Amino acid sequence: MKASSAWTTAVLSAAIVLTAPFVIAAAARGESTIFKSSAGPLSVKTIASGLVHPWGLAFLPDGRMLVSERPGRIRIVTPDGVLSPPLKGVPKPYVGGQAGLLDVALDRDFPSSHTLYFCYSVDSGGNAAVARARLNEEAAALDEVKVIFTQVGPGGQANHGCRIAQGPRDGNLYVTLGDHFGPRDEAQNLRVDNGKLVRIAPDGSVPPDNPFVGHDNARPEIWSYGHRNGQGLAFNPATGDLWEIEHGPRGGDEVNIIGKGKNYGWPVIGYGIDYNGAKIHESTSKPGMEQPIKYWVPSIAPSGMAFYTGTLFPAWQGSLFTGALAGKMLVRLSLKGNAVTGEERLLQNLNERIRDVRQGPDGALWLLTDNAAGRILRVSPAGK
């Protein structure tokens, strides 16, 4: 259900995967909508509204949230939905097409350092920069803002990537960088950052054990390549492995387990076609190129990523969640080791583009809806 400046209550008929039709109602802030699921009735509560294309969400230690908005704002939001004014000191991004202020992430030592990172577009080509800053709540500002990495390569108005994950073991930053749509073949070119996943230290330096350090004609920050548009990135807490979710064109969205120096094939191999129906790929597989552990045809445009470890949904522990932009839903993937064993499509009648999904400290799932009147939603078992 799309957000608007004046919320109204409506009664709709809804059906999601594995369920029968039932009645839901559009919710104003603080009100709940009920959906069915394999874990029982779900309560979807509007926590906050009026955000402009919210993109990234990170929980502060006390349960409040940092939320980025694509036009160039970062706000603090309380668990009951009070929005702070935009923080001062945020660099002005280039905003156009899919470009703007994108992901935000806390340093693992945030409780003592107050350090955070964010990714944003710095030019009309959508090239990404990663900045490091310190949150100064007394001044309602970001202090000591420093750009620690800037993408190198040809630009474009789409497919910017820009998800950030910090390694739980090494503390390094892993960042998805899109292919920029037009120059898609550059995803195979190690001399540029298009279509790559890069690994940098928290100060922006290149770790000496990166796979292409010391290689001629290769950028040392590259960790893996052959990606299209990585919109989900997270470490699997069960294994420590880095997982990535990326958009295909018309079909071919992928879930990948990322390995050091590996080639994930875009655009040489894949499972989609171009938007005009033309063939893109040589084939679906090729020696030396990795296969996804899951792909979608047709495309759902997955975005955001969270492994569920909470106790509110015992039946869903170990599941992987992602939002869907084109698909307008929340998707749950059941896992057994590194295999996807099932898929459940949730909240389809919400009719919202889901940009980000996170597990909150309360064990609930927290979602960002991507539109000009975006919302923060909390998903929990009904009554909790």
Which residue has 């509204």 as its token pair?
Answer: 49
Tokens representing 305 are 């990523």
Strands across the sheet with 115-121, in order?
101-106, 115-121, 128-136, 141-150
Cα 241 to Cα 290: distance, rounded to the nearest angstrom: 15
The whole-model pTM stands at: 0.92
Q: Give the pLDDT confidence score for residue 28 in this predicted structure.
A: 64
Query: Is the domain defined by 11-381 classed in CATH 3.30.450.40?
Result: no
What's the length of the chain? 384
Strands across the sheet with 253-258, in order?
230-235, 242-246, 253-258, 294-296
* Percent helix / strand / coil, the chain, rounded to 5: 5, 45, 55
* Catalytic position from the list 160, 180, 227, 247: 160
Pairing of strands 115-121, 128-136: antiparallel
Q: 316: helix, coil or strand? A: helix
Residue ranges of the chain whose pLDDT lies below 50: 1-27
Non-local CB neighbours of 88 within 8 Å, separated by 6+ positions: 139, 140, 141, 142
Work out the end-to-end distance of the chain between its first and last CA atoms, rounded to an integer number of angstroms. Answer: 22
Burial 40-52 (b: 16+ CB within 10 A, else e): eebbbbbbbbebe
Q: 72: helix, coil or strand? A: coil
Q: For residue 272, which of 242, 300, 232 has the smallest C-alpha distance?
A: 300
Non-local CB neighbours of 278 within 8 Å, separated by 6+ positions: none
Q: 146: helix, coil or strand? A: strand
Which residue has 């992602």 as its token pair?
Answer: 322
Q: For residue 39, which of 306, 310, 309, 314 has the smallest C-alpha distance?
A: 314
Q: 185: helix, coil or strand? A: helix
Q: Give the pLDDT confidence score for residue 29 in this predicted structure.
A: 73
Cα 57 to Cα 72: distance, rounded to the nearest angstrom: 14
Non-local CB neighbours of 208 within 8 Å, separated by 6+ positions: none
Residue 229 near residue 179 (C-beta atoms within 8 A): yes
What's the chain's average pLDDT? 92
Q: Give the pLDDT confidence score for residue 299 in this predicted structure.
A: 98
φ, ψ for residue 186, nearest 5 deg: -70, -10
The 8-class DSSP code of residue 216 comes to T
What are the residue ranges of helices labelled H in 79-235?
110-113
Q: Give the pLDDT confidence score for residue 30 in this predicted structure.
A: 74
DSSP string, 12-47: EEE--TT---EEEE---BT-EEEE--TTS-EEEEEE
Tokens representing 18 are 């594995």
281 is catalytic: no
Residue 322 near residue 314 (C-beta atoms within 8 A): no
